[in-house]
Amino acid sequence: MSAADKRPIIIVKKKVVAAGHHGGAWKIAFADFMTAMFAFFLVMWLLSSSSPKQLRGIAEHFQMPLSEALKGGPAINNSPNVIPGGGDPPILKQEVQIPTSEVDKDFQAEADDINRLDEMKRQLDSMIESSPLLKQFRPQLLVDITPEGLRIQIVDSSKRPMFDRSSAVVVPSMQAILRELSPVINAQPNKITLSGHTDATQYAQGDKSYSNWELSADRANASRRELVVGGLQETKILRVMGVASSMNLNQEDPYAPVNRRISIVVLNHRAQTAIEIANAADASAALPKPGVSSRGASPQAVARPPGNPGQPG
């Protein structure tokens, strides 16, 4: 037996160990990705639901460097130097006009309106409590804030009506209330609307002749005249209308006295602008087209026939 055959045989055995758990790092990365995607779609949704004015304000914000924004400086597109990534072509310094955001103007106007109307409500409440005349009619004077502005409602009472029955003749107490309120309303820059309301009691002939629609409009117009006599400028009256019993204050009882009322709304900026735009659109639509004669279009006046047998409120 040779020496080579006598060499010891070495067997190496390696212990096989299963691979360890990789941990949850991938979950964190995936969560970050999903958060970023959610934020992206949220931004896209907000942009799609924003108005053009708001979009212009957002674009203006991103066109202003942070250092300039903190100082209230001009946007990038107003800079004389070209800065990559923003703005329109540069213009000369002497031509620079710092733009005022229309969005900020609207927000400021609405904030001023809210403060002004809140102050007016406090003033009216204080005046009603301090005035001997108005205090006795306190239950019939309702003052509140609505989406359109400050609303003053003078409601009827079974013992103290505002008008003669089935008539637009203003009783003396109602005259005194309107003339007392007139200077306070006139002191505001806001314009107003007036609307007349009746209860559900109908005339004998219903809507075929003189009806609650005409009566409510006549009462609103009579109230307008009393406000003007009290000192209200005519230019501050934007709309006068009669709505009959279509908007009852007491929904459960359409014949309740409180449904007979005069509603005066001191309009906020947004509501006033909307009505003015609508009025302008109606006026332009009513203009005769070139070559079309408007001779035959004469307005029809509705007169109340004497001796109506019905007696609505």
One domain, residues 62 and 211: no
One domain, residues 249 and 229: yes
Our measurement of the distance from residue 134's CA atom to the centroid of its chain's CA atoms, rounded to an integer in Å, reads 30
Q: How confident is the model at residue 205 (pLDDT cuts 50, 70, 90)?
A: confident
pLDDT in tens, 84-118: 444 454 444 444 454 556 666 667 777 887 888 88
**For residue 306, what are its two tokens?**
């004497």
Task: Decide if 52 is inside a domain.
Answer: yes
Residue 240, H or E segment: strand 237-242
Is the pLDDT at 148 greater than 70, yes or no? Answer: yes
One domain, residues 86 and 138: no
The answer to whether 144 and 265 have CB atoms below 8 angstroms apart is no
Q: CA angle at residue 140 from 225 to 190, to 5 degrees?
A: 50
One domain, residues 38 and 182: no
Pick the most confident of 44-48, 75-79, 183-187, 205-209.
Answer: 183-187
Q: How confident is the model at residue 10 (pLDDT cuts 50, 70, 90)?
A: confident
Which of these, 168, 139, 136, lies nearest to 155 by C-alpha position?
A: 139
**Above pLDDT 70, what percent of the chain?**
70
Q: How confident is the model at residue 238 (pLDDT cuts 50, 70, 90)?
A: very high
Q: In 3-state terms, what secondary structure has residue 184? A: helix
Q: How confident is the model at residue 207 (pLDDT cuts 50, 70, 90)?
A: confident
From edge to edge, which strands make up the β-sheet containing 261-267?
Answer: 141-146, 149-155, 261-267, 192-197, 237-242
Q: CA angle at residue 233 from 230 to 238, to 5 degrees?
A: 115
**Above pLDDT 90, what percent of the chain?**
34
Return all residues near 228 (Cβ < 8 A) that are at least 6 apart. 182, 234, 237
**For residue 123, what are its two tokens?**
């003033």
The answer to whether 195 and 151 have CB atoms below 8 angstroms apart is no
pLDDT in tens, 276-294: 898 887 767 666 665 555 4
Which of these, 150, 181, 184, 187, lies nearest to 269 by C-alpha position?
A: 150
Q: Are strands 237-242 and 141-146 parallel, antiparallel or unpaired?
A: unpaired
Is the pLDDT at 232 greater than 50, yes or no? Answer: yes
Q: How confident is the model at residue 305 (pLDDT cuts 50, 70, 90)?
A: very low
One domain, residues 71 and 117: no
One domain, residues 166 and 269: yes
One domain, residues 116 and 165: yes
Between CA 21 and CA 41 the distance in angstroms is 34
One domain, residues 208 and 168: yes
Is the pLDDT at 72 greater than 70, yes or no? Answer: no
Task: Decide if 291 is inside a domain.
Answer: no
Task: Decide if 149 is inside a domain.
Answer: yes
Across all residues in the chain, what is the average pLDDT?
78
**For residue 186, what are its two tokens?**
């006139």
Is the pLDDT at 212 greater than 80, yes or no? Answer: yes
Which of these, 121, 174, 178, 126, lies nearest to 146 by C-alpha position?
A: 121
The answer to whether 148 and 105 have CB atoms below 8 angstroms apart is no
One domain, residues 86 and 144: no
Between CA 134 and CA 185 the distance in angstroms is 15
Mean pLDDT calculated for residue range 171-194: 92
pLDDT at 51: 84
pLDDT at 98: 46
Count of the separate structural domains present in the chain:
2
**Greater confidence, 7 or 201?**
201
Question: Per mean pLDDT, which range of 10-14, 61-65, 215-219 is the poorest?
Answer: 61-65
Is the pLDDT at 307 greater than 90, yes or no? Answer: no
**Greater confidence, 120 or 313?**
120
One domain, residues 114 and 69: no
One domain, residues 238 and 259: yes
Q: In 3-state terms, what secondary structure has residue 147? A: coil
Mean pLDDT calculated for residue range 147-154: 92
Last residue of a domain, one of 63, 95, 127: 95
Task: Decide if 308 is inside a domain.
Answer: no
Task: Decide if 122 is inside a domain.
Answer: yes
Range of the domain at 168: 105-285
One domain, residues 170 and 77: no
Between CA 91 and CA 149 the distance in angstroms is 43
Between CA 263 and CA 246 the distance in angstroms is 14
Q: Which residue has the tokens 């003189």?
A: 210
